[in-house]
Chains A and B, each alone.
Chain A
Amino acid sequence: MEPIIRVRDLFKVFGPNPQEGLRLIQDGLDKDTIFERTGNTVGVKDCNLDIAEGEIFVVMGLSGSGKSTLVRLLNRLIEPTAGTVEVRGRDVTRMNQRELIRLRSEDMAMVFQSFALMPHKTVIDNAAFGLEIAGVGRARRRERALEALDQVGLKAHARSYPDELSGGMQQRVGLARALATDPSIMLMDEAFSALDPLIRTEMQDRLLDLQHERRRTVVFISHDLDEAIRIGDRIAIMQGGEVVQVGTPKEIIVDPANEYVRSFFHGVDITQVFQACDIMDSENIPVLDADTTAGEARNRIAHVPGNEAVIVDAEGRFRSVVQAKRLGELTVDRPASEVAVEVEPVTEDVALADLPGRAAKSPVSIPVVDADGAFRGLVTLPRLVEALDRSRNVAVANGDH
């Protein structure tokens, strides 16, 4: 699919002579040398990204890694030194003032770390700010602002002033202000970083809920790996102005590009990253009907490495697990379901961390189902142990540095 945002060969050099800085980068000098020689600071260096429509794309890095600069290059709050940023195939870097204002007011909204609300305006007028700038009439914009406030659960506080609200509530106003213009792209610059951890998690959930209602493309800047893993469909990791790795959270954890990327995982609980669907066995499990005989069941199990099968109903929903050793108690023509064990399945998105507890109590492997209850696979004991062992190794390897 065509990416909604395509960044090509993007550079940003701050300082007295950006073009000279750019030339030195292309000569292969590093950031510190360029600063010493010319006083120019490299903000973003040779960035190439494709951001897909509807994904939450997290840009991660330490402070000074250029991530805030990068997000401001996307809506041209900062002018790039070289390179292109295309939004739906249109080059933002070549837009005139009029086109740029149109893009900003209709297609892209931004949420800020410090909330950046207007203290002299009420919550509803703050939420309506983007529409006010776009020239939408007072009644219409208040109506839409109220809808946006409702989406973030702040409808009751529409008449308050920002300084009467807590930090988390203020940022919900910031979110409502962005939502009110109904943008297809949201740029969120450390949007939740100023909030305390509990409120931060709540806001992340709210963002995910909002994505569920209407999928927007979200470019989310963060320095917090837990946050990136929680909300990110894909993560880009920046170091010294460069994007050093792009991938899904799992790809990055399993195969970090360098020591810097690895260092982010220090202290991160990897068993929270992997889910039941990542470690389940979905290929080697015979799936039986409710009336399959014991003989046939034994036969099917004999053809796979494991020693279990599952029984599903006519709609493919999980019913029970059958173990080969129990089938021996039955004559071949009895239905296998007579010795099947009914256990509570888990959904695909249950974290690896929650599985050992389940496994300890369950007489059989843990069945995994999707949101509709359809059978997806089994988390067998060997698979579980292997996954736990692997995540411990990742943690140990990262802990060394």
Chain B
Amino acid sequence: MEDRINIPVGDWIEAAVDWILANLEPALDGIAWFLGLLTNSFEGALLAIPAWLLVLALVGLSWWRVSWRFGIFAIVALGLILGMDLWEPTIKTLSLVLAATAVALAIGMPVGVAMARSDWVEASIRPVLDLMQTMPPFVYLIPAAIFFGLGTVPGAIATVVFCMPPVVRLTNLGIRQVNREQIEAGLAFGCNRRQLLTKIQLPLAMPSIMAGINQTIMLALSMVVIASMIGAGGLGNTVLTGIQRLDVGLGFEGGLGVVILAILLDRITQSVGLRRKASG
């Protein structure tokens, strides 16, 4: 044992965590306060709406944006969630997903734009994204729990970190893939840098960005379920309880709820990306 090389990476990370805890507490508190506010507002707002009204709205959205068949699926699926008495955990999960996605987009899209504008920025951000995406998601739960304790907020933080890479990558990719002549057309008609971004690059990158947003939402959903291990609540909690009690039925019900939410979110957000074709 003595002569084995042992680079103490783990020790360094622990030291870093200790340092952050000791020195950045106000910042951590600020983040916690903000994320708590965001998730609670989403949850409060969604729970304040009567369940039948929200179901009606979601079914209407599915019908209008996707297809009438999908509308019928939405009726059945949401009816099933209500019938299994999983409405409240579903809403809790949904609000966590929405809050985490909102934060991930607010950070991720500007980062994607910065990456598209500079090769140097792209080269330095890319390995960070690789790390964020390939690290087993459970690993995020440890520092999140250390910094923010147990509950919704650390769950949201871990989710933000885990779900951000796709929107960053696809914003960058979408902007970089804009046809050179279209960029030239923008410049030739007198665009400045800001106009080039808002009038040409972002609109033309939109299909790619929407795919990124869709992926980010789906990753957020999968992470929110895992985050129930540190007390984030919601459908993940139902699954977790099922595991702890070896209750196959309860675990399956929770899992089914997650699947239904995933399908609804996926199809509805995808349809937003296809808006032009659907209406034109």
Interface residues of A (CB under 8 A from B): 72, 75, 77, 97, 101-102, 104-106, 108-110, 112-114, 116, 118-120, 129-130, 132-134, 161, 164, 177, 181, 187
Contacts and interface: CB of A to CB of B under 8 A. Distances in A.
A109 B204 CA distance: 21
Interface string B66-96: 0000000000000000000000000000000
Nearest to B275: A120
- Minimum-distance CB pairs A-B, first 10: A105-B190, A110-B188, A116-B185, A130-B189, A116-B181, A104-B190, A112-B181, A101-B190, A116-B182, A114-B181
Contact of B189 (A97, A110, A114, A119): A110
A43 to B, nearest CB: 15
Contacts of A102: 190
Nearest to A114: B181
A134 B184 contact: no
Interface in B227-261: none
Q: Which of A109, A116, A132 has the most CB of B within 10 A?
A: A116
Interface string B178-193: 0101101111111110
21 contacts: A77-B187, A104-B188, A105-B190, A110-B189, A112-B181, A112-B184, A114-B179, A116-B182, A116-B184, A120-B204, A120-B206, A129-B185, A129-B189, A130-B190, A132-B199, A133-B186, A133-B191, A133-B199, A134-B190, A161-B276, A161-B280
Q: Which of A72, A97, A129, A187 has the most CB of B within 10 A?
A: A129
B181 A104 contact: no
Nearest to B279: A161
Interface string B160-193: 0000000000000000000101101111111110
A187 B188 contact: yes
A127 B189 CA distance: 11
Contacts of B190: 101-102, 104-106, 130, 133-134
Q: Which of A118, A119, A133, A161 has the most CB of B within 10 A?
A: A133
Contacts of B192: 97, 101
Contacts of B186: 133
Interface in B174-227: 179, 181-182, 184-192, 195, 199-200, 203-204, 206
B188 A77 contact: yes
B185 A110 contact: yes
A164 B280 CA distance: 9
A110 B189 CA distance: 7
Interface of B: 179, 181-182, 184-192, 195, 199-200, 203-204, 206, 276, 280
Contacts of A72: 184
B179 A116 contact: yes
A77 B182 CA distance: 12
Contacts of B191: 101, 133
Given A75-B188, A77-B187, A120-B203, 4 more contacts: A110-B185, A112-B185, A116-B182, A161-B276
A67 to B, nearest CB: 15
Nearest to B185: A116
A108 B188 contact: yes
Nearest to B199: A133
Contacts of B200: 118
A337 to B, nearest CB: 61
A191 to B, nearest CB: 11
A71 B184 CA distance: 12
Contacts of A101: 190-192
Contacts of B187: 77, 104
A14 B186 CA distance: 22
Q: Which of A72, A108, A118, A177 has the most CB of B within 10 A?
A: A118
A293 B82 CA distance: 113
Contacts of B189: 104-105, 109-110, 129-130, 133, 177, 181
Contacts of A177: 189
Nearest to B187: A77
A116 B200 CA distance: 11
Given A101-B192, A118-B200, A120-B204, A110 B280 contact: no
B194 to A, nearest CB: 11
A110 B276 CA distance: 27
Contacts of A109: 188-189
B264 to A, nearest CB: 26
Nearest to B184: A77
A119 B204 contact: yes
A114 B182 CA distance: 9
B147 to A, nearest CB: 42
